[in-house]
Amino acid sequence: MPSFQRTSLIGRIAASKITLLLILSNIAVYLVIAYLDSRAFESLSQTSFLIDWGGNVPALTLSGEYWRLFTSMFLHIGWLHLAINMLALWSLGLILEARMRPLVFLGVYLLSGLCGSLVTALWHRDEFFLSCGASGAILGIFGAAVVYGLYDRSKGRPHVPPGNLLLSLVLTFGAGFAFDVDNAAHLGGLLAGALLAGIALYAERLRPLAAAVLLGMTGAAGTAALAAVALAHHDLNMQSQLTVARFERTLGNMGLLGSGRELWKASTIDECIQDALTDAASKGSQEPDLRHCAKSGDRDLALLGTFMPPRYQLCRAQAADLRKFFPGAAAQQALTAADQYCAIQSQLYAAIFQGGSAQLDVDKAREARLTMRFLLDQQRQYRTDSKALQAQAAAMQGMLRQVGELPAAIVARSGCPYWSCER
């Protein structure tokens, strides 16, 4: 069993490699993402910044984005939040890691943090809640320190200094008062850390091989239990609504849901495309003249050439995702129409901004564009006698109407994970 003796500060620091690694990792994450994304320093954009980089938003986490349970542990709301949490971790880690096996210390930190994140997700699943920070994991270390301290005191050996526990507690809960308090993560992390410390203390009585097996099984079982609970609470309905909400936002950016949500000047290019297709159809040509749609020197139009093509590709991916949730024939046909529309728009934008050929079936392109507008026409500006198209329009509009306030609010406040977006 490891001894716990008074040592010099340098010796204690040398024995705290995992603590130092965790602190450096948290600092490195903060510095790297702050360098890559300026929203880290913009108070009005900080919510979207934290969501996009992996903050724990229960509705997102429990709808399949389980990685947020882990990534949220390394995100912080500004340097003050980071500094307070790292000081708390330092005050405990410097003492406790010397008392525990290093890998056990790391396991307690990570499992406690994951448990805290999961408790938060379950507790706040029906509201728009954003959680991030290392405090759940730090409370796990705090719980472990209390258990070890009490055990060592009962054996008459030097124990974890109460001053370190008090300082860590003040710093951690002080961060909670300075920022929004996530009591669920604190409680989940605290209980998990105490439980894991009890198992680790029991393992100290065993032979090395038996102790290693017990600790390894505990880590595997703990991870499996967290995964099982998360999967058991998977919210398929929320996943469906979030997918629809993202699809709706993409359609809005493309100018298909009214002028108030489209990207700046997107309608200008779309009108030019429509005129070019009409002119080509009247001449019997299969290559519309789109050269004049992007005016030289117009920076706004040039930006559309960068931002719109990824949205059309996103539209196709989202339409494919929605097929899993809406298996009805009319809905499937409506999503096929959306995919065809976005594929044609991608071709047209490539011809406008990349100078490529826009050789396509002009009549088919015009029909796809008209069909998409009919499917999304809630003002009944278009008419058709086709029962099939009417059913598709009803399916498409019904799909968009099913989005609740929570998924709509989440999608409105978030973009997409930084590593998967072209910015």
Same domain membership, residue 345 and residue 228: no
Q: In angstroms, what CA-CA distances link 221 with 5, 152, 197?
A: 32, 27, 15
Q: What are phi and psi of 179, to 5 degrees?
A: -125, 180
The structure tokens listed for 218 are 């505990």
Residues 203 and 65 in one domain: yes
76 a catalytic residue: no
Tell me what pLDDT residue 196 has.
97
Query: Do 296 and 217 reside in the same domain of the chain?
Result: no
pLDDT by position in tens, the chain (length 423): 444 444 555 666 667 899 999 999 999 999 999 888 888 877 778 888 999 999 999 999 999 999 999 999 999 988 888 998 898 899 888 888 888 888 999 999 999 999 999 999 999 999 999 999 998 999 999 999 989 988 888 887 766 666 667 676 666 666 555 566 778 898 899 999 999 999 999 999 999 999 999 999 999 999 999 999 999 999 999 999 999 999 999 999 888 887 677 877 788 888 888 888 888 888 887 778 777 787 777 777 778 888 888 889 999 999 999 999 999 999 999 999 999 999 999 888 888 887 655 667 888 888 999 999 999 987 777 788 889 999 999 999 999 999 999 999 999 888 665 545 544
CA angle 400, 402, 408 (to 5 degrees): 80
255 domain-assigned: no
For residue 351, the model assigns a pLDDT of 82
- How far, in Å, are 40, 45, 97, 407, 417 from residue 37 at the CA level? 6, 11, 34, 24, 11
As a whole number of angstroms, the distance between CA 259 and CA 329 comes to 30
Q: Quick one: 219 and 353 in the same domain?
A: no
Whole-number pLDDT of residue 156: 76
Can you state the angle between helices 266-283 and 362-375, rounded to 10 degrees? 140
Catalytic residue among 135, 168, 240, 346: 135
Residue 105 sits in a domain of what CATH number? 1.20.1540.10
Domain identity same for 220 and 341: no
Q: Based on the fold, state whether residues 228 and 288 are members of the same structural domain.
A: no
For residue 393, tell me if it sits in a domain: yes
**Residue 371 lies in domain:** 269-403
* Same domain membership, residue 339 and residue 193: no
pLDDT the model gives residue 357: 59
User: Does residue 125 contact residue 235 with C-beta atoms inside 8 Å?
Assistant: yes
Judge if 106 and 214 occupy the same domain: yes
Inside any domain, residue 249 = no
Instruction: Tell me, yes or no, if 135 is annotated catalytic.
Output: yes
pTM for this model (two decimals): 0.86
CA proximity to 421, closest of 87, 100, 48: 48
Task: For residue 260, tell me if it sits in a domain.
Answer: no
**316 in a structural domain:** yes
| Residue at 1 is within a domain | no
State whether residue 131 is helix, strand or coil. strand
Confirm whether 251 is domain-assigned.
no
* Residue tagged active-site, from 76, 124, 159, 186: 186
Q: Are 307 and 376 part of one and the same domain?
A: yes
Q: How many domains does the chain have?
A: 2
